[in-house]
Structure 1
Amino acid sequence: MLIFMDYGWISSTLTIKRICVQNYLTYPYTAEGFFWSPASSRPSAMSPCLKHTLFMWDRYAPAYNLTSPSRPAAPIIGNPLFPPGLQAKAFTWWTTNKFLRVKDLISVRGPYPMTYLIENYNLPKTEHYRALQLLHWAQKCWGSSRSDQAPLTCFERWCLNNAPPPKTISLLYLTLVSPKSLTDILYIKQWGNDLGVSLTDTQWPQLWENLKHSSSNTVISEAGYKVLFRWYLTPVRLARIYHNTNDHCFRGCSAPGTMGHIWWHCPKVVRYWVRVYNLIFSVLHLNLRKNPYEALMGLPSAKVPKNKQKLLNHMFLAARQTIAKSWKSLSINFTLFKNKVDWIFINEKLSSIDMDRLKTFQTVWEPWIKYRHYDTLPTYLLTI
């Protein structure tokens, strides 16, 4: 919780007793100024609470991009990096005119020139020397190599607005626990290693969105999430839990039973997926290239119409459920796959009736109904 205390120091007014105590203990500096200055510029004597908070800040602020190089939220008064600002009374004119932070001295192209301050703020001659001091420090913060200002971080925007957004603590926690990159998410990294191919950062949100809307029936959509989050116990995982267990594939191919092998690379499952893709071509007339992320996790296929994509999602869901149903079997029953599609068909029809979406259901499932020729399911179920 100490990481949030520093946010209180930065964005709150000095009327809060906790902040007043810390500022009294750090005088002539302010506790706020320490967060925007390096550890080497801070005094060694400070309260244990503030010292530990700064230790956590120094550890996590760079790692999670809470600050930008130009330090735009750094205060002018009480900042160790700007010694003239330790005399707050000398900068009364500047604080009165709302020059409180580095950001107030910088435009999108760099620090303001002296002429700008004179023309726009009627800068009195008595403040010219302090203006040179401030602009010199602003230029130092800005740096000599950047031609444009670095974008503000979300944390700096909160500080500059002087008003925290709703649920600030939850947002900060979310920032700290969120991975820096999608490839840092464990199951994404594991699937990439198992399948030998990875998705881009733009493809994963498409996959999640398509999987989210694959079915309104929880039991049906659950099959997709179980595979995505690697819910199933493979021989390799069981061998790690029970050391005397064989880690070879259930289907007798003598290869290590990893998640990628069981679902995609096993010779028997390869033949099964060939038949699945052939059936998809017969039903939807789509000649798809085999893609494990489409078949196993719900990545939408490129250039496939919306209604066909919905039926394709159901057929891939049925294919996954069939593999799960045949988990420890020596072979995968392809007839069971067709029966699973029929079972999903029935459940989707009942859901469409309940939600008054029968017309949409008819459009989506029409290719499957034509393929089955009304000879497998009872007529009253197939008839729309």
Structure 2
Amino acid sequence: MNRFSGKTVGFSLFKTVVLILFTLLLSFTVQAQIRHLIFFGDSLSDSGNNFWVKSGGPHQGAPITNRSATGERRIWTEYFTRIFEDSRQGGQARSLQVSSKAIHPGIHLNYAWASAETGRHYLSDNSGKPYFPSRDNECRQPGLFADSRGEVQPCVPSVGLQVQQFIQQHGKDPEYIKSSLVVMLAGGNDILNNLGKLLSENRLKILLTQGLSHPIDNTLLNIKVLHRAGVPYSNMLVLGLPDFSLIPAIHKLVNNNASALSMLSQISSAYNRWLQFRLWWETLFSDQAITFYNPTSFLNDLAVNGSYETIDGASLEFSQGLIPCHQKPEEPERPGCDQHIFYNLKHPSSQAHRAFADDLWRHLLRQKPLAAKLSS
């Protein structure tokens, strides 16, 4: 036997292993780049899909917030997209498009609809009831439709249907899916609608026909569907709910009862802890993790301090604190809404949305695996 043959075989094997590792590393690097943002959710995230919703203020339709200094109604999904684009090296900045009006692929897409829950139902948000009833039998696609009597009825897709639409449109484009950061914020409407059903006089009939929504279970199901479609867990960002006791609509609902507000604060805290645990458990045996953001500290700090400094050094002042700028529907637009944390009883002012997007971005930069993908 040639005395060099063993060394030659060993060296060839070493080169092969190095080549395989280099190929895998290169493949991982390419796949890790985040180039698209995809949003799912409700009125807190809807930048224009639901154009008919009554906002509890001077404006109709999403986005539900006041006009900023530039005259536009902007919410956190748009501010977050702008921050993301500003962080990218080179290339033309791309804006966020709502799914109902997007005209070409390869952009940032917002599938969120005001009035949506987390499940897989179409909902009606103009029934006048203390909850949004499902319209699965009548609705075939999101938007408005004329029923058998010729009356225009809304079809609001909940998050499960938003996810389904995303997969139908992009499920055959694995490169697009794996280069997208999927962001999900929902659950508030589920809780409010559940309360509306339970407090109704004919609650038994409603529960038998409509049932209750289970937002955490629904969110986990949506996560599973997205993952099966090819979205890596590490490309998922799930947002929790704010402290219920700080929301003006909740104060009005319980007549500012201190005991009730304390209990609701504990419920919202428990909700976020359980959601975070379920997300951790979902990826327990995976080498990837879902990023979770709890907005409780952000809103609490904003309410206490009355100001916020953005990552680029801008100072945002909230001299009116938690007092909503608008408390009655269809009243004339008031100036100075950006000095309020809340635009109306449920929704933040445009400036509060900006601060929220900034705080969320700061949070992501502290998550090393995801931060690397965002900056690549």
Q: Please state which band the TM-score falls in when normalised by the shorter chain.
A: under 0.3
> Normalising by the residue count of structure 1, what TM-score does the alignment of the two structures yield?
0.21
The normalised TM-score by structure 2 is 0.21
**Which of the two has greater strand per residue?**
2
| Structure with the higher fraction of residues in helix conformation | 1
Of structures 1 and 2, the one scoring higher in RCO (CA 8 A, sep 6+) is 2
